[in-house]
Copies of this chain bind each other. A is one copy, B any other.
Amino acid sequence: MKVSEVADLVGISVRTLHYYDQIGLLTPAYTDLTGYRVYSDQDLEKLQQILFFKQLDFPLKKIKEIMNDPDYDQNEALEMQRNLLLEKRNRLDQVIKTINKSIRYRKGEVTMSKKEKFVGFDFSKNPYKAEARKRWGDSTVDQTNEKLERMNAQDKKAFQDQFNDIYRKLAEIRHIDPASEMAQKEIKKWYDYLNKIGNYPPTVFKGLGQMYVEDERFTKNIDQFGEGLAEFMCAAMEEFADRNK
């Protein structure tokens, strides 16, 4: 298929296809001798994937990165995208609720607090930041916290002390090579700690590490122990996961 055929089929512009080719996101199957782009059915499949991601406001760079990952599995991706889309619809429902209430508010039928008027918008929580959480299942730090809350006071304290110890030590050595034995030994403690509470196989552990630097909320929290700690941990965790997979 030629450019405009594809463009018409999926409802995007020719320029968009040119651009995707240019940035290496979607290279046509081949170009004929006159330089015309020719797309295969496989290319269409890939394009469909891309558009799903776009619906979820993933930046093109991220999309490329994700789809180039040797571990990329289309079935897994489809499942993930479905979840994210459902999440997106929930947010949309929130916005619709807000607007419904706003209409009634204008009629004087109900009251609305300032906060309420903006429920559902939530521009800060880009769906793609929740990606890691979804992609790596539900084993997030948040869950860890939940579990901690269900423990008794004594155990809780013990765990929190451990937590602090681990972080403080990591903060101390945060300027050395993350792949060094020293760093790996300490990061293993973090790995073991997590696995006392939940189930974190190496791949999940690695994904968690990436979240530390990609989600500012985590970065901030972690960097309270020392600036750059999140980045250091991310690198160390990646190395650890690669060694132990």
Show the binding face of A for B, using Cβ within 8 Å. Answer: 9-12, 41, 44-45, 48, 51-52, 55, 74-75, 78-79, 81-82, 85-86, 88-89, 92-93, 95-96, 99-100, 102-103, 106, 114-115, 117-118, 121-125
Number of copies: 2
What's the Cα separation between A216 and B154 when bound, in Å? 70
Q: Determine the chain B residues whose CB is within 8 A of the CB of A75 once the complex forms.
A: 103, 106
Q: Determine the chain B residues whose CB is within 8 A of the CB of A85 once the complex forms.
A: 92, 95-96, 99
What's the Cα separation between A115 and B88 when bound, in Å? 24
B123 contacts A100, CB within 8 Å? no
- The interface residues of chain A, by DSSP majority, are classed as helix
A115 → chain B closest CB, angstroms: 6
Q: Determine the chain B residues whose CB is within 8 A of the CB of A79 once the complex forms.
A: 103
A78 contacts B51, CB within 8 Å? no
Given contacts A48-B102, A48-B118, A85-B99, 9 further A-B contacts (CB under 8 A): A11-B121, A11-B123, A55-B121, A74-B106, A81-B99, A82-B100, A85-B92, A85-B96, A89-B89
